[in-house]
Amino acid sequence: MSDRLVLLGSKGGPALRPGGPWPSSSLLEIGGRAIVVDCGLGVTRGLVDAGIGLKALDLIFITHLHSDHVLELGPLIHTAWTAGLATLVTVFGPPGTGHYWQRFCQAMEFDIEIRIADEGRPDIRELVSIEEFGEGQVVEQNGLKVTALRVDHPPVTDCFALRFEHAPKCVVFSADTAFFPPLVDFATGADILVHEAMLEQGIESVVARTGNGARLKEHLLASHSFAGDAGRIASDAGVKRLVLNHLIPADDPGINEADWIAAVRKTWAGDLTIARDGLVVELA
Ligand SMILES: [Zn+2]
Ligand SMILES: [Zn+2]
């Protein structure tokens, strides 16, 4: 397995529109491990299309509990279970992840009990380990080291950027955040920085299409980064490649890749990827 990053879902926010991209989820294959980062709607389909056997589901990380990052966590594990999962899946998530999982299993109790009794499946509740984490080291295991940094995503306080290291490779995810200078130190020397991004000229149309105008705009400006901000973090951290992800807007016909490139080139001159669903970035 060659090391790679697959952007499964590349849009910011939970809304779906015809032909448009899907909410946030990524696959990171590093040091022989397949790691799922965030489980927005579409993650299961995305993993299957990326060639991942669901029975081999292993490590899942959730950056925060906004629905565009966690809505399909339960359905992903449940689908893997019905596909024959028989080994432990570990989910690392912020405080509240265990509560979500417990309630998901309760919501699916009828199906879970009947499949155990009728099909002789193992108990899904015994196949999943939930590890709630805070800032600092999350896990160190077989050469894989993961650390977390609390970022600035009000009103969510438990939102964490994640740094994945498996020597000599390193990939950092910003999670959802407003411009947050401590990410510079956190991302220093990374091969890839996956940073969320908004495009200034697209905000008005997103707000108009979604409704709830003033409040939504206020949230976007307080809790997310513009493409130029992402470029500043990448430049100051000296990363090898910047991937703009969690794009807002992601499905505006009046905005294309050239607009994103123009916005980020003001602050970032290095290797650049603008995310789209299913895009593979090799970890050279
Ligand atoms: Zn989000
Ligand atoms: Zn969020």
Pairing of strands 89-93, 128-132: parallel
The DSSP code sequence of 170-182 is: EEEE--S-SS-TT
Residue 149, strand partner residues: 161
Closest ligand to Cα 94: 2
Helix, strand, coil percentages, rounded to 5, for the chain: 35, 30, 35
Q: Which of 159, 97, 106, 164 is nearest to 129 (CA)?
A: 97
| 116 CA → ligand 1 middle, Å | 35
Assess whether the previous peptide bond of 21 is cis (omega < 30° from 0).
no
Ligand 2 centroid to Cα of residue 69, in Å, is 7
- Ligand 2 centre distance from Cα of residue 54 (Å): 26
Q: Write down the pLDDT at residue 234.
A: 98
Ligand nearest to the CA of 39: 1
Q: Which ligand has the shortest distance to the CA of 69?
A: 1
Return the ligand number nearest the Cα of 66: 2
Give the list of residues 6+ apart from residue 46 with CB closer than 8 angstroms, or none: 6, 8, 9, 22, 25, 27, 277, 278
Comparing CA positions, the residue from 41, 50, 36, 37 lying closest to residue 17 is 41
* Cα–Cα dist 163/265, whole Å: 24
Q: How far is ligand 2, taken at its centre, from the CA of residue 64, in Å? A: 7
What does each C-alpha distance from 110 to 94, 105, 114, 139, 163 come to in angstroms?
28, 9, 6, 34, 38
Residue 17, SS3 per DSSP: coil
Amino acid, single-letter form, for residue 26:
S
**Structure-block tokens of residue 220:** 């976007």
CA of 280 to the centre of ligand 2 (A): 23
pLDDT per residue as tens, the chain (284 positions): 689 999 999 999 999 999 999 999 999 999 999 999 999 999 999 999 999 999 999 999 999 999 999 999 999 999 999 999 989 999 999 999 999 999 999 999 999 999 999 999 999 999 999 999 999 999 999 999 999 999 999 999 999 999 999 999 999 999 999 999 999 999 999 999 999 999 998 888 878 777 777 788 888 899 999 999 999 999 999 999 999 999 999 988 899 999 999 999 999 999 999 999 999 999 97
Centre of ligand 1 from the C-alpha of residue 98, in Å: 20
Count the residues in the chain.
284
Span 100-151, pLDDT tens digits: 999 999 999 999 999 999 999 999 999 999 999 999 999 999 999 999 999 9
Distance 250 CA to ligand 2 centre (A): 15
Query: Ligand 1 is a single-atom ion; what residues have CB below 5 A from it?
Result: 66, 68, 176
* CA geometry: angle 196, 40, 86, nearest 5 deg: 130
In this prediction the pTM is 0.96
SS3 category, 14 = coil
CA of 111 to the centre of ligand 2 (A): 30
Query: Considering every ligand atom, which ligand is closest to the CA of 219?
Result: 2
Give the ligand with the smallest distance to the CA of 248: 1
pLDDT reported for residue 204: 81
pLDDT score for 215: 84
- Please answer whether residues 192 and 241 qualify as being in contact, where contact means their C-beta atoms are separated by less than 8 angstroms: yes
**Predicted local distance difference test score (pLDDT) of residue 1:** 63
Residue 165: phi and psi, rounded to 5, are: -125, 130
Quote the ligand 1 centre to 169 CA distance (angstroms): 26
Nearest to 85 by CA among 108, 52, 131: 52
Angle (CA) 244 204 70, round 5°: 50
pLDDT (tens digit per residue) in 189-219 = 999 999 999 999 888 887 877 777 778 888 8
